[in-house]
Structure 1
Amino acid sequence: MGNDRSLVLLQGLLGGLLAGVALTVSGPWWMVPALALLWAASRSSLASAIWGAVAVLVSHRWLLALHPLMWIGVPAGLSLPIAIGIWLACALLAALLLACWSYLLNRLPLQGSFANAALAAAVWGLLEVALSKSPSFWIGVGGSLLPADPPLAALSRWIGEGGLAALQLLLGWWLWRLLTMSRRESGWPALLAGGLLSLVVLHGVGARLLQNPETIGGQAELAEYSVALWQPAIPTREKFSAQRQRDLPVRLQAALQEADAANANWLLAPEGTLPLNDSLSAPTPIPLMSGGFRWSRGRQRSAMLLVDAGGTTPLASIDKHRLVPLGEWVPSWPGISGLSAIGGLEAGEPSRLWRWGGPPAAVAICYEISNGAALARAVADGAEWILAAANLDPYPRLLQQQYLALAQLRSLETARPLLSTANTGPTAMIRADGQIAARLASFDPGVLMVPLQPRKGLTGYVRWGETPLLLMIGASSLVLIRSASRSGPRPARPRRRKTPPLDQE
C-alpha cells in the first residue's frame, strides 16, 4: 500500500513537471504525457494537487522577477518574501482546483470509461474559460499548443481555448488507457487505431482551417491600412525617474515623426505610456492610440487613449476591465496600497469593443489577452481586428513567449489579425491564421511598420462560444446517468455484529 501511494504521488510530481515544461516551450508531446500522468494520479486528490502546484511553479516562475520591489516603497527585507509568496499562492490555488477536479472525477460512475473522461475533460475546459474571466488566471492547458502545433490549435476556431483543453485531456486519457491496458485485451488494438486515426483527422481538419479559414457570413473586402507599432523599451523600475520623464515626450514625438514619414495611418503605443491627464508636447502628425491613464468619476483608470491628428489631448478611450491583483487592484487594507506603483485603479466596462472612428477593434490591455471569450464577444459585436497593448517589464522572455502564444490563439479563435504593442515586447503583427508576420526583437526600442487588413465574418467559436463543451457535458452525463440507473442502487454494506460477552450467552 505504501509503495502504491508513493507511486501515485510520483506520477503527480512528474506529470506536473511535464505540464510546466509544456506551458514553457509548448507542444502536445509535452502536455499529453503530462495529462496521461494526471489521469494515472487522479485517484488521489493529493497527487492531483501536486500535479497542479508543480505545473504552476514551473510555468509561472517568471513571477519571481517581481523582486526587487523597493522601487515602489516595499522594504528590502520584504521584497523577495512577497514575490515568493505570490508565486506560492498561485501554486496553492492550482493545487486546490486540481484536488476538487479529482474529487469530482472519483465520484462519477463508469470509472475509466470514455463517457467518464469526456465529462471530466469538458468540466476542465469550462473551468479554464471561467477562470480566464477572473483576476487569478493567466495560461492553462488550452494555451499550450502554440506555437508548436498550429493545425491542432486551429480547431479553436470552432471549440475555443476551453475546447482545446478538453481535447488534450482526452488525448491524455487515451494515452493513459493504452499504457494501462494489456495488449492482449480485445479492445487494445481498436483503442490504438482509433486514437491514431483521430490524431490524423484532427490535424487534417486543422490544417484545412489554416489554409481556408471558414467563417459564417463570408469575408467582405475591407481597406488595408499601414500601422506603426512603437516599442519604447523603458525599464519599468526607471519609468518614474526624472530623466525618463523628460525623455519620454521627446522619444514619443520622434516615433510619431518616423511613423508619419513612413505613411502610417496611425501609431500604436503600449500600455501605460501616457501619464495621467497629460497632453503631448506637440500636436501629433497622425492619430495616436496609446496606453495611458485617465480620471473617471473621481477614480483613476488604465485605458487605451486616442489622440487625433493635429491634437495633443485624448478625445476617445476604452478602459481596462481586468485588473492585475496587487499591481493595479489592491484591497483597502492598511499598508497594502504600497504594493501598487499606481495606487490602485478602477475597472472599466466589460465590453472589449472599441468604436474609435476607424475600423472597430477588440481591445486587450495586458493580461486581458487570456480572456478569449470577451474578445470573441467583441468580434461578434463588430470588431474587425484585435488590438493588444501591454507592459510586461520587468518580467523575463518566458512571459513574452506565453503572451505571444495567447495572442496567436486569439487570432485563430476569431479569424482576426492582431497587432501587439508592448513596452519591451512582444511587439508584433499576427495574421488572421495565427501566424506571426512581423516582430521586433525583445527589449530593443524601435518602430515596426505593418500592414493591417481588417476582416469580417464570424467563426464557429464567435457564434456559439462554449456550446460544444456544454453539449459534451450533457451527452456524457446522459450516458453516465443511464448506466447508473441500469446498475441500480449500490447494495448497503452489512453491519458488523459484535460478539456478545460470554456472560450474556
Structure 2
Amino acid sequence: MPIVKTRLSKQHQRWGLPAFGFLALASGILMGLTVAPVEAWFLAWIALVPLWVLVASPAPRKTKLLSALLWGIGYHGIALAWIAGVHPMMWMGVPWLASIAIALFCWAAITLWGAVLVTSWAVGMTVFSQRSGIARILIGVALWCGLESLWSLGPLYWTSLSYTQSPHNLVILHLGQLSGSLTVTAAIVAVNALLAEAWMKYEGSGIGGWGSGIKDQRAAIRVFASGCILFVTLHLVGFGLYNRPLVQQPETALRVGIIQGNIPNTIKLYPEGLRRAIAGYTEGYLTLVDQGVEAVLTPEGALPFMWSEVLRTSFYSAVREKGVTAWIGAFGEQGQSYTNSIFTLTEKGEFSRYDKVKLVPIGEYIPFEQVLGGFIQRLSPLEARQVPGLPDQIFDTPFGRAIAVICYSSAFPEQVRYQAAAGGQFILSAANNAHYSPSMPAQHHAQDTMRAIETERWAVRATNTGYSGIVDPHGRTLWISDINTYELHAETIYRRTTQTLYVRWGDWLTPLLLGLAVVFKLAEVYVSYPNSNAR
C-alpha cells in the first residue's frame, strides 16, 4: 500500500509526536474506563484501534514505542488508580509524607510494569510484522496473548484485557471456558485489529481523501465487515455456552453462610479490632447456624492471629460446640515465618489448611528486598516474615474438594484451573479488600466472576469490608453485599465435577496462535525472497 504509507508519513510530519502521544494516551485512558468504577466495558472493542494504527504506521520507531508506552500508562494507570488507596498509613506508624510516597511509588511501579508489556508488544510488531493483512493481525494477536501469558507468571498481574468485560459482558466471558481468559483477550485484540486495518485502508482510498483507489475502498469495507462479523460470531459462540442449562442434582446442594466482618484495617491488628473480630465472627457464626447452614466462610485474615491462638478463642469453642464446619481466615505458622491461610475447622478440630500462594508485592512482601527494603519498609506491623504457600496445594473439606482462592490469587487463572482439574467442586474466595476505594473490591469481584465461568463452578466470596457475594457457574451474581457494612448471608450452592475444555487442556490457544504466527511470518519471508531457496 505505497499510497497509504506515503500519506501516513505526511500525516505524521503534519501532526508531530505530541499529537500522536496524546492520541495514544487518550485511547489508553478509554480502555482504563472499561473497569470499575466507570465500567464502560464496550469501549474495549475500539480503544485499541488508535494504538494499532500508530504502531502499524510508517512513523519513526521512537514514535511507535512512545505511543505504546503512553497507551499502557493511560490504561493501567486509570484501571489501577485504586492502589493509591493504601494512603494514609499513619495507623501503621508510617509518617504522612512517607505514606504518600509509598502510595505513589506503588501506583507508578505497577502502572509502568503494565506499560512495559504494551511497549514490548509494539517492539514485536515493529520487528516481526511490516506488511498489512491477515499476517499482521495474527502476529499482533499472538504477540499480545503471548506477552500476557508470560506476564501472568510474574508477581504483578491484574489488568489483563479480558477483565475489561467482567462482570457485565457475561456472554463473551464464556469464551474463557474454551481456553481461559486469554481467549477473551485474543477476541478483543482481533476485533480492534480488524477495525484498525479497515480504517487504514479507508484512509488510503478516495473516501478518506488520501488516494483514489477503488480497490482500497472495497477492501476497507470488506475488512470492516470482517471485524463486525467476528464480533458478532464470538458473541454468538459465547451466547451458546452461556445458555447451556446447569445440571444441579439435589444431593450436590450445599447451604453455605458468609460473614462480612467489616473490621477496618486501621484497628484490625490492634486490641479493639481483635475484640471486634472475635465477637463479630462468633455471633455471626451462631446466627448462621441457627439459619440452617452447613458451613460458614469467613474472609481472609478474619481472625488475625496465629492458628495456635485461634484455638483459644470463643469462635473455636462455638464451632466445637455446634459442629457446623467453618472456613476461617487466619495466620499459619511455618518455622519462623507465617502464612496467610484458610483453615477448615470441624467439631473434631482442624480438618485442612490452604496457604495463600500469590502474595501482594510490597503489601505482603518486598520484591528485591535487599535493594528496596530500606526504602519502602514492610507494610505490615507483624514482625514475622510472610511466605507463600506451595502452588500445587489442594483443599479438601468434609463436603468434597474445594478450590481455595485467597485475595490476590483471584487474578491468576492458572491457580484456579489447577485446583479445578484436581477435583475442586466449588470456589471459596476469601479476601480483605479494606482500605481501598470501592473500585478495588468491584474489580476483585470481576476477577472471581471470570474464574467461576472458566471452571464452571459456584463461587462463594467472603470479604472483610465488601464486596462479598455468590456467583453461579454462568457468572451471574446472585447476591452481593454492600460495602463497609457488617453482613451475614446464607445461600445454597451446588458442587460440580464437570470440566470445561480450559480446565482439561489449559491455555492451548496462545501456543496455537504463536505457532500460526511463526508459519505466516515464514511464508511472508519466503514470498518476499522467492529466489533465496533457489541456490
TM-score (norm 2): 0.86
Q: Distance in 1 between matches of 2:221 and 2:525?
A: 28
Match of 1:342 in 2: 382
2:232 is matched with which residue?
200
Deviation at 1:283, TM superposition (A): 3.2
8 Å CA contact retained: 1:319, 1:349: yes
Q: What is the distance in 2 between the residues matched to 1:490 and 1:300?
A: 65
> In structure 1, what is the equivalent of residue 211 of structure 2?
none
The unaligned stretches of length 5 or more in structure 2 are 1-12, 57-63, 208-213
Q: In 1, are the aligned partners of 2:198 and 2:219 still within 8 Å (CA)? A: no
* Cα shift at 1:219: 7.8
CA offset digits 1:404-441 (Å, max 9, x no partner): 11111111111111110000111111001111011221
The whole-number CA distance in structure 2 between the counterparts of 1:195 and 1:213 is 30
Structure 1 residues not aligned, in runs of 5+: 492-505
Task: Work out which of the residue numbers 258, 278, 287 in structure 1 matches 2:325.
Answer: 287
2:139 is aligned to 119
Give CA deviations for 1:456-488 in whole Å, capped at 9, x if unaligned: 111111112111121111112201211112211
Aligned to 1:446: 487
Q: What count of residue pairs does the alignment treat as equivalent?
A: 486
Secondary structure in structure 2 of the residue aligned to 1:23: coil
Following the alignment from structure 1 to structure 2, what is the Cα–Cα distance between the partners of residues 352 and 396?
A: 32
CA RMSD of aligned residues (A): 2.1
| Distance in structure 1 (CA, Å) of the matches to 2:248 and 2:518 | 38
Q: Give secondary structure in 1 for the equivalent of 2:165.
A: coil
| Percent of aligned pairs with the same amino acid | 23
Query: Aligned pair in 2 of structure 1 residues 372, 221: CA closer, same or farther (>3 Å)?
Result: farther
Taking the aligned partners of 1:196 and 1:338, their CA distance within structure 2 comes to 50
Aligned pairs (5 A) from 1:6-155: 6-24=18-36, 25-42=38-55, 44-155=64-175
Match of residue 499 from structure 2? 458
Q: Is the 8 A contact 1:270 1:290 kept in 2?
A: yes
Q: Tell me the SS of whatever aligns to 2:503.
A: helix
Match of 1:305 in 2: 343
Does the aligned pair in 2 maintain the 1:53–1:91 contact within 8 Å?
yes
Q: What per-residue deviation string (whole Å, max 9, x for no partner) do you get for residues 186-216 of structure 1?
A: 31232232222222221111111011069xx
| Counterpart-to-counterpart distance in 2, 1:206 and 1:461 | 14
CA-to-aligned-CA distance 1:300-353 (integer Å, 9 cap, x gap): 111001221365xx4421101111112111325446544223343011110253
1:107 is paired with a residue whose SS is: helix
Change in 2 beyond 3 A, CA 1:243/1:197: same
* Distance in 2 separating the partners of 1:490 and 1:139: 45
- Structure 2 match to 1:232: 261
The separation in 2 between residues aligned to 1:308 and 1:386, in whole angstroms, is 19
Matching residue's letter, 1:349: L
Shift of 1:221: 7.0
Is 2:274 the partner of 1:254?
no
| Deviation for aligned residue 1:52 | 0.3
Q: In 1, distance between residues paired with 2:480 and 2:24? A: 38
- Alpha-carbon distance between aligned partners in 1 of 2:221 and 2:47, rounded to the nearest angstrom: 23
Bigger shift: residues 404-413 or 22-31:
22-31
The C-alpha deviation readout for 1:384-423, integer Å capped at 9, x for no partner, is 1111110001011101111111111111111111110000
Q: Secondary structure at the match of 2:363?
A: coil
Question: Is the CA contact 1:109–1:484 (under 8 Å) kept in the aligned structure 2?
Answer: no
| Structure 2 counterparts to residues 95-494 of structure 1, below 5 A | 95-182=115-202, 184=214, 185=216, 186-212=218-244, 222-274=251-303, 275-276=305-306, 277-278=308-309, 279=311, 280-281=313-314, 282-284=317-319, 285=322, 286-309=324-347, 311=349, 314-330=350-366, 331-332=369-370, 333-334=373-374, 336-343=376-383, 344-488=385-529
Q: Which has the higher helix share?
A: 2
Q: Does structure 2 retain, via aligned residues, the 8 Å contact 1:292–1:305? A: yes
CA distance in 2, matches of 1:334, 1:37: 42
Q: Tell me, yes or no, if the aligned pair for 1:227 and 1:450 is still in contact at 8 Å.
A: yes
- C-alpha distance in 1, partners of 2:375/2:77? 27
Say if 2:41 and 2:164, in contact at 8 Å, map to a contact too: yes
**Residue-by-residue CA offset, 1:210-249 (whole Å, 9 max, x unaligned):** 11069xxx98775201000000111111112322222222
The 2-side partners of 1:3 and 1:475 are apart by 36
Q: Distance in 2 between matches of 1:78 and 1:441?
A: 32
